[in-house]
Amino acid sequence: MTDDDGAAVIDKDGMDALVAVLAARGRTVIGPTVRDGAIVLAEISGGAELPYGWGVELEAGTYRLAAREDGAAFAHSAGPQSWKTFLHPPRAREWSADRTADGGLVTTPDATPPPSYAFLGVRPCDLRAIAVQDRVLTGGRHADRGYRGRRAGAFLVAVECTEPGATCFCVSMGTGPAVGPGYDLALTEVLDADGHRFLVRAGSEEGEAVLAELPSRAADTATRTAARDRVAAAADRMGRSMPPVDLQGLMRETLNAERWDDVTARCLTCGNCTMVCPTCFCTTAEDITDLTGDHAERWRRWESCFDRDFTHLPGGPVRDSPRSRYRQWATHKLGTWYDQFGSSGCVGCGRCIVWCPVGIDITEEAHALNRERASGAGEGAG
């Protein structure tokens, strides 16, 4: 049952029903669950596997689970994975080749059918990240057919953020905590004296059909107000922020800043930030053979611009120093991404801060660059 604008309310049993309905439609349901000391994204078979009663404590270079007394399912911030792991997997076979008896070679493109996913618990920042990767990987002259197939079959259940982490800065990037377009269903979790429930809105025809199958009731004013207030309060509790300036211009005007030397003296160039980033998309090719040499395969795997060989040419790598590689990553993410794809490549999820082994904070670096620019230093191209 829904009201005039399609909103409804479901209880915890409605979450169980949601997983069951999505599975009955032939979808593999992926959602947050507690495993190995973290809230990870994995296949779930029921609502009980959601991380009820668990939150996280985040800081630069720090992540730990924290028990909650309220039993909330979605009161946690972005974990080590993003939905990129499923839509743009870390490793995928592209083709195989086999030598025939007469010495010929038969090449077979990988034709593995794309899975039909249902993503339960997509944060607003990650919903925006999916939209960013859609522009990168489904448009232009070199669309990624594998990504396009996985994306076309994905059902997105977004969850508005009511509990930002200490490293979140989605407000600065305009990506949350309220959900934006692109979802099939959107949930807002509410816990108060009236109980534990979820405000649900449909954003697509399939979303409406799924919602119609759930045990629900019309959205009441109290639930609507509570949901709206919790999201608004989350916007005022962001743990981080970017400087309120044109970041594209800031990156362009501080290419020679001394701050790049400071940050890269700490950077390990490990590439963790690119691996956990929900929008980074770079890949490389990896060819393997069996011991006989009669069978070969080409696999595509994630690559990082922090890898020294990422820009290797016959004369050597273009970006040989840690300074040049960190600067490339930051200026592309916050600046030249606009030139290529019409938006920032950063959605404010904060994963790069949390999963940096030495706690480098991209927001801190942006503020430092802005201060240096204001002092008149670090200007010009380089």
For residue range 302-358, what is the model confidence (pLDDT) as tens digits?
999 999 888 888 887 788 899 999 999 999 999 999 998 889 999 999 999 999 999
Q: Region 40-69: what's the mean pLDDT?
A: 95
Q: Region 194-223: what's the mean pLDDT?
A: 96
Q: Region 241-257: what's the mean pLDDT?
A: 96
The band of 380, judged by pLDDT with boundaries at 50, 70 and 90, is low
10 Å CB burial of residue 357 (0-12, 13-18, 19+) is: exposed
Pick the range with the lowest mean pLDDT from 5-9, 21-25, 36-40, 211-215: 5-9
pLDDT beyond 70 at 54: yes
Q: Region 74-89: what's the mean pLDDT?
A: 93
The pLDDT assigned to 187 comes to 98
The pLDDT assigned to 379 comes to 55
Of the two residues 281 and 317, the one the predictor is more confident about is 281
105-109 vs 283-289, strand pairing mode:
unpaired
**Considering the chain, what percentage of its residues have pLDDT values greater than 70?**
97
pLDDT beyond 50 at 1: no
Pick the range with the lowest mean pLDDT from 33-42, 47-56, 114-123, 303-312: 303-312
Predicted TM-score of the model (pTM): 0.93
**Average confidence score pLDDT of the chain:** 93
